[in-house]
Amino acid sequence: MEWPVAAERGQEAEQGTAEELARTLREAIQRLNRRVRQARPIGDLTFSQLSALTSLQLAGALTPRELADVERVQPPTMTKIVGKLEERGLVVRSPHPTDGRQVILAATEEGRAVYAQFEKARNEWLANQLAELTPGEREILARATEVLQKVSRA
């Protein structure tokens, strides 16, 4: 379904249901997310490992349980993911400051560098796609970005 912009058409926007918009928007976001995730430098990190590394980079440091919760996986699964990241020197464990039974996970300097490489590749891919759009289309996306950020905070 096409959702025209009233100002561009010089008439009132066609009315669609919120459910229709939700479906088409969700599908477009999922396809874009899939394409952006595929844009990465050659490497052998799995999507799960990269996602966990990204969460640690963004959060700074987390317990294994917190990381599992953020990634929406079971703790045993996260244990395996963290183990692989530790083997590669991308994540380090340190003692929890207040609970001796727990550890804190954080990205190492090498882990932060790997994360930066992946972010650069993703940003370059998306920038190349955006460069193919018209200035008007890019302006629409810039405005839509503000709205999507608002929706994502709700």
Write the pLDDT tens digit of every residue in 19-71. 999 999 999 999 998 898 888 766 788 889 999 999 999 998 999 999 999 99
Which phi and psi (to 5°) does residue 103 adopt?
A: -125, 160
Contact indicator for 91, 82 with CB cutoff of 8 Å: yes
pTM of the model: 0.73
Helix (H, G, I), strand (E, B) or coil at 41: coil
